[in-house]
Structure 1
Amino acid sequence: MSVPFTSEPRPRVAWYRRPAVWVVVGIAHLLAREPPSRIRAALTLARRGARPATAGQAKTARDAVVAVSVSCAGEGCLPRSIAAALLCRLWYGAWPTWRTGVRLHPFAAHAWIEADGHPIGEPPARYEPTLTVPPAYHY
């Protein structure tokens, strides 16, 4: 997936939290190479038993991913969104809504996470969702 996107400022992550972020980013890069059906299946499995993520949790996870990965800070929206969702699950036991989508004029594809009904850390653009892995609500 690619959307013209300039590299964003990279926040800092505490040294003791970096290893977990690196592992999650590595997993996300591997998973991003898989077909959409496998990505959805893996993320659906990862979200099991998680409560919905708050916007603050999702932003913290996304910022951590951007801080440790140059490719995720730039045009790597698919691994960035996968890593942010997985990190949210690992750190908080919560799951944001993970989405991919397209727009037609001009054509572009994009992947992102949402919490509280809003995209987290994304520029304002309207995409029609094609794949969605929302939090599993188990009360």
Structure 2
Amino acid sequence: MSVRVTGLKPSAPVPWWIRPIALLAVGLARLLGRAKPAVLRPVLELVRCGAEPAGEADVSRALDAVLEVSVRCGGEWCLQRALACALTCRMTGTWPEWCTGVRLQPFEAHAWVAVDGKPVGENPHTMPHFRTVWSVPPLVERTGRS
């Protein structure tokens, strides 16, 4: 992934209890980020099982926690940042839409997390130029109600 982003900082104070979770997620994300897409996608699809769909507040809190505990994730490491954010959400019971995509002019690859198709914590001016290549959305359980 090659989007040029530097110096992202948390947008809100981070609760103390989520910091160790985010730190573990950052470590796992670093390992997962080295995996080939053919391995990464099934792993993420397995990890999301049993999680509720994340809301924007859940994803923002997870992203802030990741940025609080990792300088690396605040820089150009969008893949690790997006993976860590998704894993932090999962360890707190939710799952965002994890996305990866590209823009063509100029060519850049990027990874991000979204809620209902809307990227969270991303530059609103550049994101419309990106096209999702693949994503791992939350599983939505259907209720038996009519």
Q: TM range, normalised to the smaller chain?
A: over 0.9
In the other structure, the counterpart of 2:119 is 119
Distance 2:50 2:15 in 1: 27
Deviation at residue 2 of structure 1 after TM alignment:
1.4
**8 Å CA contact retained: 1:96, 1:113:** yes
Is 2:99 aligned against 1:77?
no
For 2:68, the equivalent position in structure 1 comes to 67
Gapped runs of 5+ residues in structure 1? none
**Any idea what the Cα deviations from partners look like across 1:62-88, whole Å, max 9, x if unmatched?**
110011101101111001001101111
Q: CA RMSD in A?
A: 1.3
User: Which residue pairs with 2:49 in the alignment?
Assistant: 48
CA shift, 1:15, in A, is: 4.0
Show structure 2 runs of 5+ residues with no match. none
Q: 2:35 — aligned with what?
A: 34
Aligned equivalents of 1:20 and 1:53: distance in 2? 16
**Number of residue equivalences:** 138
* One-letter amino acid of the structure 2 residue matched with residue 20 of structure 1: I
Note the C-alpha offset of 1:116: 2.9
**In structure 2, what is the equivalent of residue 2 of structure 1?**
2
User: What pairs with 1:19-30 in structure 2 (closer than 5 Å)?
Assistant: 19-30=20-31
Counterpart residue number, 1:135: 138
**Per-residue deviation at 1:12?**
4.5
Report the TM-score, using the length of structure 2 for normalisation: 0.89
Q: Which amino acid aligns with 2:68?
A: A
Q: Provide the rounded CA distance (Å) in 1 between the counterparts of 2:14 and 2:63.
A: 11
Give the CA deviation at 1:117.
2.6
Which TM-score applies when normalising by structure 1?
A: 0.93
**Percent identity of equivalent pairs:** 47
User: Separation in 1 of the partners of 2:75 and 2:68?
Assistant: 11
Question: 1:104-132 CA deviation, whole Å, 9 max, x = no partner?
Answer: 10000000000133100001222111121
Contact 2:73–2:81 under 8 Å retained in 1: yes
Q: Distance in 1 between matches of 2:25 and 2:4?
A: 24
